[in-house]
Amino acid sequence: MDANHQEKYHDQIDAYLRNELSLEDKALFEQSLGNDSELLMEFKVHQELFAQMDESTWINESFTPDIEEVKEVEIYFRSSEAKKLKDTIAKAQANYKKKSSPSFFKNKLFLPILAAASVAIFVVLYTMNSGDSSQDLYVTYSQWQDIPSLTSRSDESQLAEGQRLFEQKKYSESYALFKEYVEKENEILPPVLIYSGLSALELNKYKEAISYFDRLIDSDTIDQSKGYWYKALVYLKQNKKQNTITVLEEIKTNKSNYKYQEAVELLDKLK
Amino acid sequence: MKNNDYFIEGILQSNEKVITEIYSLFFPKCLKFVLQNKGQTVDAEDIFQKVLMQISARIRCKELQVINSTFEAYIFTACKNLWRRELNKRKRVTKTEVKELVSEESDMAYALLEQERWELFKEKLEKLSENCKQVLTLFLKKVSYADIVLQLSYSSETVARQRVFKCKAKLIKSVKSDERFKNLIS
């Protein structure tokens, strides 16, 4: 395929997969997919690329693997060795379930504890191993579970509502609500800035997120240093390694800074 | 912390004690992910069992040499991908198109090969220059060109588009020219 031809294909495919086409153009494109095998091939490759970043989809509808390969693996899954392993796994699973007591499962605290434990395991692992992408690191450190609560401030039901929406991952709504609050009020407490910034971050509104965390950094509060940590995560999510490092270095200058230990670890991973 | 080999040997030997340990250490994270994404505990159990079977199969017949991340990171990615796959399948069943029934073994074989293809793409993406990776990541996340220009300080959208095109063409070429690719498609 010559370069011009390829460029034309790619433009159409990109626009389609990035949802930039009108309904009619979409239909037209789908039609041409049926008539042009070369275009279809390129399209499938692109589908797989987009799936790298889109967790709501999977690649079982683009290509079908070579049938000989499928058979070979299938034979293994039917082997006695695989059957034995499957039995052992079932036993192991039963052992595991017995150990984690049922009352613990019913406990409302179970999920938060589970989350905390998995983060702890992760952090320990990351201190010993490297080689993960900044995306993976971002996921590890962005578990948002030690943000101070706003619900105690019963006079501010808008804030409590915002926190609730945030916890339900309704970030567009929580963002709108906090944004309005921050614009309207003169004195903004650190947790409010954190929720505003994290809502923005979850929506990939990076500039806005940074502005909230900068405001926190510039504030004269005890929580001021939290701004650095969250700002670093904004850069990490965007894969801006150098910026992430710069902000983390700032945390490293003072041991009493929020997430000092994590910042040191993360710096290690990134370098 | 025990190393990758300890867990992998445990799986290959069908060692009940080691596999129980794997459950205690790594299942909770997989469970959490599934629960947060429209799944139930039984779904997570099913997925996790398949992840372990998949590791064994990949070593036995696909000569998976090393898991070059941590065992935990590998397990978690495999868990996420298998669950994404399952959700995608369920979505499809609710549409009119119903795929012919396949045996569990065959379905697991397909899942394994898809996982390999996914890893191949990921590997090639990781191998690009830092600049290419940055711009493609934003592009694939469907960030608008206007924002890409802002975030990466390009001089214009045209420049950004050219960058994306070149980096993407390079990536696709390296995927297609990889020997493994042709066995993973038909």
Say what angle helices B4-12 and B41-62 make with each other, to 10 degrees: 90
Task: Supply the pTM of this predicted model.
Answer: 0.60
| Token pair of A2 as six digits | 């010559």
Amino acid letter for position A228: Y
A216, A215, A204: which is closest to A147 by C-alpha?
Answer: A216
8 Å CB contact of B185 and A66: yes
8 Å CB contact of A63 and B186: yes
Cβ-Cβ contacts under 8 Å for B37 (sequence gap 6 or more):
B83, B87
A95, A80, A102, A98: which is closest to B19 by C-alpha?
Answer: A95
Amino acid letter for position B182: K
Which residue in the set B25, B35, B165 is minimally distant from A10, CB to CB? B165
Cβ-Cβ contacts under 8 Å for A121 (sequence gap 6 or more):
B25, B29, B72
Neighbours of B88 (CB within 10 A): 16
CA dist A182 and B54 (Å) reads 50
| Token pair of A184 as six digits | 């309207």
Characterize A239-262 residue by residue with b for buried, 16 or more Cβ atoms within 10 angstroms of its Cβ, and e for exposed: bbeebbbebbebbeeeeebbbbeb
8 Å CB contact of B32 and A114: yes
Backbone Cα Rg of chain B: 19
Cα–Cα distances (Å) from A234 to A87, A165, A231, B49, in that order, read 45, 21, 5, 35
Instruction: Please give the distance of CA A215 from its chain centroid, rounded to a whole number.
Output: 24
State which residue of chain B sits closest to A239, comparing Cα positions: B134
8 Å CB contact of B105 and A65: no
Q: Which segments of chain A have a pLDDT < 70?
A: 1-4, 101-114, 121-132, 145-146, 151-156
A118 by Cβ neighbours in 10 Å (0-12 / 13-18 / 19+) ranks as buried
Backbone Cα Rg of chain A: 24
Q: What is the pLDDT of residues A222-238, one digit of tens each?
A: 888 899 999 999 999 88
CA dist B91 and B99 (Å) reads 12
Alpha-helical segments (H) within chain B: 4-12, 16-36, 41-62, 71-94, 104-127, 130-140, 145-152, 157-176, 179-184
A1 by Cβ neighbours in 10 Å (0-12 / 13-18 / 19+) ranks as exposed
Q: Which helix (H) or strand (E) holds A45?
A: helix A37-51
CA atoms within 13 A on the CB side of A74: 14
pLDDT at A128: 53
The C-alpha angle with vertex A10 and arms to A6 and A11, in degrees rounded to 5, equals 120
Q: What is the pLDDT of residues A73-100, one digit of tens each?
A: 999 999 999 999 999 999 999 999 888 7
| Tens-binned pLDDT, residue by residue, of chain B (186 aa) | 678 889 999 999 999 999 999 999 999 999 999 999 999 999 999 999 999 999 999 988 876 655 667 888 899 999 999 999 999 888 766 554 455 567 889 999 999 999 999 999 999 999 999 999 999 999 999 999 999 999 999 999 999 999 999 999 999 999 999 988 887 887
Which residue in the set A19, A57, A76 is minimally distant from B57, CB to CB? A76
CA dist B55 and B180 (Å) reads 18
B28 by Cβ neighbours in 10 Å (0-12 / 13-18 / 19+) ranks as buried
State which residue of chain B sits closest to A205, comparing Cα positions: B147
The ipTM (two decimal places) reads: 0.86
Mean pLDDT of chain A, nearest integer: 83
CA dist A102 and B24 (Å) reads 15
